[in-house]
Amino acid sequence: MEAFAQIVQEMAGEDTIASRYGGDEFAFLFPNTEREQAFLRLEQISAAAAQREVMTEKGEPIQGIPVSGGVASFPIDGRSENELLRKADQALYRAKVAGRNQVRLSYEERMVPKTSHFTQTQLERLSKLAEEHNVSEADLLREAVDDLLTKYGVNSIES
């Protein structure tokens, strides 16, 4: 982790905000940076990490730190924090499925209609929640499905 943090400090730029998001996942904010420029910066970080030799806790050298990344940009990919995180996470998922150690841009997903059955009370509560948070019911339902998939480990990618 220290080697990766050093690479980020060297390459991300002084306006970049980097944060550990959970486990081995990090979030980078590139304020006032075009989407494609953020993508290129993340690719440069990935390439530098792949070149760096690091030591394991046992003192054994390892050549390179594999870095996979997903990029989402305001307002192109979303206007809320949740939407941007969801889109970046989906891009990251595609990078990992495609073989890891690569960066992917978010893209507009095609919605697939699916018949669903909800109780009247559920729909009324959903409508009220969407109104209170000034988001669409569809956004709330997508967020709930993502949380459900995460809860049951469907989003996790193991090598």
Residue 158 has pLDDT above 60, yes or no: no
pLDDT tens, 81-138?
A: 888 988 998 899 889 889 888 999 998 777 677 667 888 888 889 999 999 999 888 8
Residues 59, 110: Cα–Cα separation, whole Å: 47
pTM: 0.71
Give the residue carrying structure tokens 């220290």. Answer: 2
Distance in angstroms (rounded) separating the CA atoms of residues 79 and 67: 26
- Ordered structural domains, the chain, with CATH: 2-109 (3.30.70.270), 111-159 (1.10.1220)
Rounded distance, CA 129 to CA 148, Å?
Answer: 18
Residue 123 host element (H or E): helix 120-133
Mean pLDDT of the chain: 86
Cα angle for residues 39, 140, 85 (degrees, 5° grid): 20
**Mean pLDDT of the region 149-153:** 86
